[in-house]
């Protein structure tokens, strides 16, 4: 390799210097471009911010009247978002103004884990003013703590209308007697507007306020001593204003309730209009101990997987209940509960005022449906059918039912009301042609329409 001469070295250094100058110029250009990009980004952000502010100023949330926003916040609080008024008040001045509507603060929720519950309660009550209150006292430790809280409630509650209590018993005797929630009725004896009570416990309550109109009793999965069904029914029979009753029972309690149970007397709930039973099918025999002469709505829902065969106890108890009470029922819902074909027919014959029938995962045969045909069948007032996961029912049977209750001109046949609406969801043997035929004859739906539909709340593997 030849050694470079001085002239060659000088020429190479000159070339390097020229390129270095070019690189410096390019770097300066890049810096200028980057500054321009940053300026453009700043301008872009300014325009986007202006767009967002302008869109916000004309958004529904800004244009909505304060009373509409207040109603939204109230529904949010009532639906379980307990801090809704506090959170929404921190969004903007308009939302803060709307969030101060008293009814949005009328839902007071206290749990064992609440931080400074006294201060929180005072804040909520100070802003609720004279609105009807909904108070949730959720004590998940011992009944004695709940009794201590209730002992502080011995004063007038002129505006209280709803109370939720969650409390658990360890099922042992104490110095004060059996470990039970004993002070509930006395605590709210001076609450004339108290009408809605929800209790979650592992024992039936010994008493509830006499003013209660809508009562929900939910037994939890926590083990305890055997609940007394006879005592619970006796307590229910003493409630003069009771219109709605919900019973939610887990499986292991069903076995305890009916194991060596004392003789259960019949109980008459003179003013009961709605009864909801969410329990394993074996619990449904409770119906044979009840009389409800003005009952209009009956919902029987199983909390167990489908049995895939008729449950004799449910059919017999339901039929006995209908025959003894002769209620003017408008709605019957069976969910995951199968009964025999003959029980279906006899129940239909006992329901002359029935307007709506809901069968969800409850099998009914085509023969049983024949008993609803006009003009000589059962349930002449039937107007609405809601059928879901009925695997045995064929579409033509539904078409025949709808057509049997109207004449050739589409008018009612005899004294029978026509079927005004029919819902068919996931019924395997109801084909598309049957749905189209139903749609020509009546209002036919193949989707869940109501946000409050019970199926929306179920955590089933089918969904």
Which of 48-52, 130-134, 298-302, 450-454 is predicted with the least confidence, judged by mean pLDDT? Answer: 450-454
Segment 234-263 mean pLDDT: 81
Identify the DSSP state of 459.
-
Q: Could you give the C-alpha distances from 304 to 139, 212, 250, in angstroms and in order?
A: 28, 30, 9
Q: CB–CB of 291/266 below 8 Å?
A: yes
Residue 221: the pLDDT is 74
The residue that leads in pLDDT, 195 or 145, is 195
DSSP H or E run through 133: strand 133-138
- Range in 208-212, 217-221, 284-288, 314-318 the model is least confident about: 217-221
263: left (phi over 0), alpha (psi -120 to 50) or beta: beta
Q: What is the largest CA-CA distance in the chain?
A: 124
DSSP string covering 232-301, please? HHHHHTT-TT--EEEEE--HHHHHHHTSSPPPPPPEE-TT--EEEEES-GGGGGGGGGEE-TT--EEEEE
In the chain, where the domains are located = 64-131, 382-451
**Can you list the positions of beta strands (E) in 11-59?**
none
Q: What is the dihedral of CA 197, 200, 201, 202, to 10 degrees?
A: 120
pLDDT of residue 463: 33
pLDDT exceeds cutoff 90 at 65: no
**Cα 236 to Cα 238: distance, rounded to the nearest angstrom:** 5
Partner residues linked to 335 by β-bridges:
301, 360
pLDDT in tens, 378-436: 999 999 999 998 888 899 999 999 999 987 776 777 788 999 999 998 888 888 888 89
Max mean pLDDT among 172-176, 212-216, 256-260, 422-426 falls in 212-216
pLDDT at 284: 92
Range 73-82 average pLDDT: 83
The arithmetic mean of pLDDT across residues 232-260, rounded, is 84
User: Which pLDDT score is estimated for 306?
Assistant: 74
429's tokens: 């043997």
Read off the pLDDT band of 173 (50, 70, 90): very low
Which of the four pLDDT bands, split at 50, 70 and 90, describes residue 448?
A: low
Residue 458: pLDDT over 60: no
Q: What does the CA dihedral 172, 174, 177, 181 come to, rounded to 10 degrees?
A: -70
Tell me the H-state helices in 58-166.
Answer: 60-63, 66-78, 84-88, 93-99, 117-128, 143-150
The distance of Cα 406 from the centroid of its chain, to the nearest Å, equals 36
């Amino acid at each position: 390799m030849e050694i470079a001469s001085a002239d060659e070295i000088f020429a190479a250094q000159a070339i390097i210097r020229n390129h270095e100058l070019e690189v410096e110029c390019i770097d300066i250009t890049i810096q200028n471009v980057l500054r321009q990009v940053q300026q453009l980004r700043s301008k872009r952000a300014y325009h986007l911010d202006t767009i967002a502010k302008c869109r916000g100023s004309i958004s529904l949330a800004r244009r909505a009247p304060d009373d509409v926003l207040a109603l939204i916040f109230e529904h949010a609080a009532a639906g379980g978002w307990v801090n809704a008024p506090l959170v929404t008040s921190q969004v903007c001045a308009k939302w803060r103004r709307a969030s101060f509507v008293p009814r949005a603060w009328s839902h007071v929720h206290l749990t064992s884990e609440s931080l400074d519950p006294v201060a929180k309660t005072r804040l909520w009550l100070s802003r609720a003013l004279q609105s009807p209150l909904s108070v949730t006292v959720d004590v998940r430790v011992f009944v004695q703590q709940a009794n201590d809280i209730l002992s502080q409630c011995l004063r007038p509650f002129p505006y209280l209308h709803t109370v939720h209590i969650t409390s658990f018993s360890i099922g042992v005797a104490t110095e004060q007697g059996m470990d039970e929630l004993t002070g509930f009725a006395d605590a709210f004896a001076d609450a004339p507007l108290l009408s809605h009570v929800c209790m979650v416990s592992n024992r039936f309550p010994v008493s509830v306020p006499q003013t209660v109109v809508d009562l929900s009793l939910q037994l939890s999965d926590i083990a305890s001593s055997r609940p007394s069904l006879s005592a619970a029914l006796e307590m229910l029979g003493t409630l003069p204003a009771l219109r709605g009753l919900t019973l939610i029972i887990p499986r292991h309690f069903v076995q305890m309730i009916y194991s060596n149970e004392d003789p259960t007397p019949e109980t008459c709930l003179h003013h009961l209009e709605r009864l909801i039973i969410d329990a394993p099918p074996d619990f449904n025999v409770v119906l044979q101990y009840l009389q409800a002469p003005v009952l209009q709505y009956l919902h029987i829902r199983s909390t167990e997987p489908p049995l895939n065969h008729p449950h004799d106890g449910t059919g017999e108890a339901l039929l006995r209940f209908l025959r003894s009470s002769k209620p003017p029922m408008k709605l019957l819902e069976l969910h995951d509960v199968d009964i025999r074909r003959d029980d279906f027919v006899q129940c239909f014959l006992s329901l002359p005022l029935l307007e709506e029938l809901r069968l969800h995962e409850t099998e009914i045969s085509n023969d049983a449906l024949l008993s609803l045909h006009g003009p000589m069948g059962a349930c002449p007032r039937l107007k609405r059918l809601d059928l879901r996961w009925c695997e045995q029912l064929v579409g033509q049977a539904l078409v025949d039912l709808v057509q049997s209750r109207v004449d050739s001109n589409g008018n009612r046949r005899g004294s029978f009301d026509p079927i005004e609406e029919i819902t068919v969801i996931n019924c395997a043997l109801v084909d598309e042609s049957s749905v189209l035929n139903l749609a020509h004859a009546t209002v036919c739906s193949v989707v869940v329409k109501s946000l409050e539909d019970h199926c929306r709340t179920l955590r089933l593997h089918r969904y």
